[in-house]
Amino acid sequence: MELTSPAFQPGQPIPPAFTAKGNGISPPLMISGAPSNAESLALVVHDPDAPSGDFTHWVMWNISGTATVLPEGQLPTGAAQGVNDFNRVGYGPPAPPSGTHTYVFDIYALNTQLPIKTGATLAQLLAAMEGHIIAKAQLTGTVSA
């Protein structure tokens, strides 16, 4: 399984439109090679370089297992979002306080739909995914203060 973005190359800068310096919308993502038995996908976006420790920017689940595109700034049909570390539901755009931070996009293929509701936390998502992950892919991008 592979996760890419037409907006930025792996390990390269995320365009300002997808950060707090711009429109703050989620970047477009492309998924390829998901297992044919994937019932759903889940996405976690986090910043391991945050001063307070790993900072969660986005949690989303119950994305269709056959999805190949997550359009910019849109929630896929049927998907649910959780609370990020800004204490808001949805995408929290990168806004590093200083230096250059790496933002990690993890996509998980799952063998089930998850029974958790909108507004769940990262911990609740990870607990619900336990034992159901059949594949994982990762994309990183950077943002400078």
Number of domains comprising the chain: 1
Can you state the percent helix, strand and coil of the chain, rounding each to 5? Answer: 10, 40, 55
Structural domain of residue 77, as residue ranges?
2-144
CATH of the domain at 63: 3.90.280.10
Instruction: Specify the pTM.
Output: 0.97
Quick one: pLDDT at residue 80? 98
**pLDDT, block means (10 residues), the chain with 145 residues:** 98 97 96 97 97 96 97 95 97 96 98 97 98 98 97
- The answer for residues whose C-beta is within 8 angstroms of residue 62's C-beta and 6 or more apart is 40, 42, 78, 79, 80, 113, 114
